[in-house]
Structure 1
């Protein structure tokens, strides 16, 4: 189970209260002109993106131009947010405020003082479903090992919006620790600056997420190559896509909470009705009157 120290949870909630713009990082419609950013629509397509030129000349001018381009693409992608995404983002802010005001109580089998990340997801999902009336669930992606990437699994919040019949269903992903998913401990200054532009909490449709993943994986590969560091398979484009963009199991946060609340203590031993077999039979059975009658085995 995905767990996080309670101190980190409190810092997360305190950061939400102090600066929504920093935490969510998105530019709502109308705040800036689209001409301020280059078109990032060409990033919506494409599959694997381990396509940074291995033989590119890493002189200072080219290096500077590369990082400027990635930052502009990132900003442009974050700008293009729809009205539906803006509404869900606002509802998520309200849900986080409610959790902070009431406090987070862990209902896991092994409770964590101050709450854990899994329970925080459950509370946010429950608020978005029961209060904001969205079709909101906790989704769990799970993928098998392949030649390129190892097996893994990931949980996040997902809303399916059907308010616009012309556009059909829209999947909106809510990732509470989005920036942390792309952080590199020994990353260069340019990469760290790019990552700092990311929202801590991602709330957006899957098409936008697909574009962000591509931008960040290209930047991550260049960062590691320039520092002559090995790129782990868990940082590859296919692996990051698998976390949010593959078919997932969707479950109600309420159901998940009920399972957690009714989970027995760790030292609980279930009462199992013993089976009768010729290997453990003691030569007697109950006759329904509370007495045992002898049985002759022949």
Structure 2
């Protein structure tokens, strides 16, 4: 499925993830969409179903496209801010990082009550790079609104995101609010979110932003403030250690979605993505711990997994997926 216009033709994130001390090998052009993923046998991952409380999860090999294990990969669930990965895949290639936007009242209209914000002010001047740091590090819905305004508006951006999802072969996603804010009918799946993250990591700018732990941001009254990424498994904060080899991607939370997370890491020549939606254990940092368990399991098994045929099932006993 062609979507070179949507992602950088410089596939991969070569040497741009300095904070992680690693780099991604190039992702083949035919490995960016859902059509290039292969599913894997379930037998060796039975214990994951017993140990993980998430409603849905998936772990996949970025470069080969193999789904190593999954539970309810196509269950349609509220995605929260992990949907910002699709927003970035759709909008990020359109504007130069150095372009400056003076924010109007219209740019910030329609922010949902209780939205996460980075603190963008009406009348303030921000580079596109500032706005993307606000999106990735603080999950700033105000930054998403400004970028969407630059892109032709909220409805236009939602429509383009939906088109992008379809081009990528992501059929479980319905976009209503580009920032991931809870909205009637807005859903995605562990499968689709993994597809979006994989497409994003093929873009050097996406890979850099999603791996950034800290960045300067224009402060009210002049000067700069320091942003810290809210992704605890990336930064190593709030009782979580930084996951070995972590390279992003995006965390989220809403009252409807619960905690959500897409995490990518690289070890020993393999880059894996683990997507976790709505853990039910009630444990502190549960979404990060379960993503870490998936990545640990994936790195132990990635070299030994073999693809099997598609069954078409989507339940706790079958890891149906086909990237």
Coarse TM-score class (shorter-chain normalised): under 0.3
**Highest RCO, 1 vs 2 (Cα 8 Å, sep ≥ 6):** 2
- Structure of larger gyration radius: 1
Q: Identify, as 1 or 2, the structure richer in helix.
A: 1
Q: What's the TM-score once normalised by structure 2's chain length?
A: 0.26
Q: What's the TM-score once normalised by structure 1's chain length?
A: 0.27
